[in-house]
Amino acid sequence: MREGEEALDLGDHERALAIFESILKQDPEHWGASLDRAEALHHLWRTPEALRAVVALRPPDDEEDDPDRADLEARIREASGQFDVADQLFEEAARIDPEQFPFPPRTSPDDFRAILDEVLESLPELIRSAVNEVPVLVEPKPAREMAEHATHITPEILGLFVGTSVGDKLRAPSGYGDVVVLFQRNLERAGSNRDEVAQEIRITLLHEYGHYLGFDEDEIEEMGLA
């Protein structure tokens, strides 16, 4: 199990899935492997399979749900665009274990934009200048089509730079408009209150504009933009 969980944490979802399925061949009733298998399927955008797997683990109506299971089903349904059903499940997970699964601080599109504007004002000058060149768009969730062009994109990603970095523009312009996309529902789930959501927005913007400016992951971390 530990090897599969480590692969899941590292984003090696195909390998994690293979490990959990191997465990389930030996022990079909293994709860942890079943739940983690559904998680791996979710990250691989195999959404219908993930939903079937996690719903199969739902207890009878007269028994209390497991908060990990309810939270995972909520995230899978969210990836399917079933936002109302997802929030009911997030509420259930929060009721069972409010410390580990606090209900996301939901905001309206206007409220989220107000938080975003405050964060943009606080960014370093280097990043604010980049914002003038590359606009910020807000979407509720990532789309499956995005992952067809970049395998690191999962339904849980917080933000994404789409386009060509400054250095690459000098060599091979992409022909597409550059943009940073924030995913509102994922960012809301990353914080337990408005201030924490604002902090997650800030971290995500610094990271994605770092990519636009041509910094790799190590450079982004060294500059404090991660």
Q: pLDDT tens for residues 39-93?
A: 999 999 999 999 999 999 999 988 999 999 999 999 999 999 999 999 999 999 9
Check residue 226 and give its pLDDT: 52
| CATH label of the domain that carries residue 82 | 1.25.40.10
73 and 17, same structural domain?
yes
State residue 69 phi and psi, 5-degree precision.
Answer: -65, -45
Q: How many domains does the chain have?
A: 2
CA atoms within 13 A on the CB side of 87: 9
Q: Are residues 126 and 208 in the same domain?
A: yes
What is the mean pLDDT of the segment spanning 135-148?
90
Whether residue 196 sits in one domain with residue 118: yes
Give the angle 64-69-71 at the CA atoms, nearest 5°: 105
208 and 114 inside one domain: yes
Full residue range of the structural domain in which residue 75 is found: 2-96
> β-pairing, 159-162 with 136-139?
unpaired
Instruction: Say yes or no: 72 and 121 in one domain.
Output: no
76 with 34, same domain: the answer is yes
**133 & 53 share domain:** no
What is the rounded average pLDDT of the residues 140-165?
Answer: 85
pLDDT at 136 over 70: yes
Q: Does the pLDDT of residue 31 top 90, yes or no?
A: yes
Bigger pLDDT: 29 or 221?
29
**pLDDT computed for residue 225 by the predictor:** 55
Last residue of a domain, one of 46, 69, 96: 96
Regarding whether 114 and 50 lie in a shared domain, the answer is: no
Average pLDDT of the chain to the nearest whole number: 89
With a CB cutoff of 8 Å and minimum separation 6, the contacts of 223 are 210, 215
**Helix then strand then coil, % of the chain, to nearest 5:** 60, 5, 35
Q: What is the pLDDT of residue 219?
A: 63
- According to DSSP H, which parts of 123-178 are helical? 125-133, 144-147, 166-169
How confident is the model over 5-28, as a mean pLDDT? 96
Q: Are residues 88 and 29 in the same domain?
A: yes
Compute the average pLDDT of residues 184-208: 94
53 and 120 inside one domain:
no
